[in-house]
Amino acid sequence: MLTRKQQELLGFIDDRLKASGVSPSFEEMKEALSLRSKSGVHRLINALEERNFIRRLPNRARALEVLRLPDAMKPAPAVAAKSSLPLPEPANDSVSVPLHGRIAAGLPVEALESDRSLAVPSALLGPGDHYALEVSGDSMIEAGIFDGDYALIRRCEDARDGDIVVALIDDSEATLKYIRREKNMVRLDPANSTHTPQHYRPEQVRVQGRLAGILRRYH
């Protein structure tokens, strides 16, 4: 049986993975559970891993996978209603989205336009217009985003503080970062303790989309 905190953390990780495909950072887990330090998160993660509820992805810093949920957290099975209507045709399980080149998860690099496309499982995409960018760099590894991943981006021009966004800087360079606003500046935060935040004037930064999911290929 899991403790209340272990169950809360497992549910938080599972919800985040289902919503975005990206496991939450240790800082986000600490705040979600109102813990005083990240060491408490480490203890909970270790306990869940020992009981085979989660596992750490090999060679992936702080990337987690939920293996199972306790019975108390599983949704009740839905009771199918009888119907004389014909079953719908199965939907295509993948969609093609434009692949617009590489984006920096480190120092900004130019976002290259491309005529390529990427086949994406439709379950990873919600409503709206989407495109994909190949990630270059390691500044978002603590958010589970790694060099060579494909970032699935929902096209939009606004974002809330704490969203992971594609930020276009000075109309020439693009980067993938957490966005936050402080005083009269826009702060773009990495998810890597070895990197420092970037500060810009509001007129220098344009949001070009919010992270919708991550697609990873294993070789």
Residues designated as active site: 139, 177
> b/e map of 99-120 (b: 16 or more CB within 10 Å)?
bbbbbbbbebbebeeeeeebeb
CATH class of the domain at 95-215: mainly beta
Average pLDDT over residues 68-81: 62
pLDDT on residue 91:
46
Q: What is the CATH number of domain 4-69?
A: 1.10.10.10
Domain borders along the chain are 4-69, 95-215
* pLDDT, tens digit (0-9, with 9 covering 90-100), for 105-151: 665 544 555 667 888 877 777 788 888 888 888 989 999 999 888 89
Name which of 21-25, 49-53, 106-110, 213-217 the model is least confident about: 106-110
Read off the pTM. 0.56
Pairing of strands 116-121, 205-215: unpaired
160 burial via Cβ count (<10 Å: 0-12, 13-18, 19+): exposed
Name which of 22-31, 63-72, 133-142, 208-217 the model is least confident about: 63-72
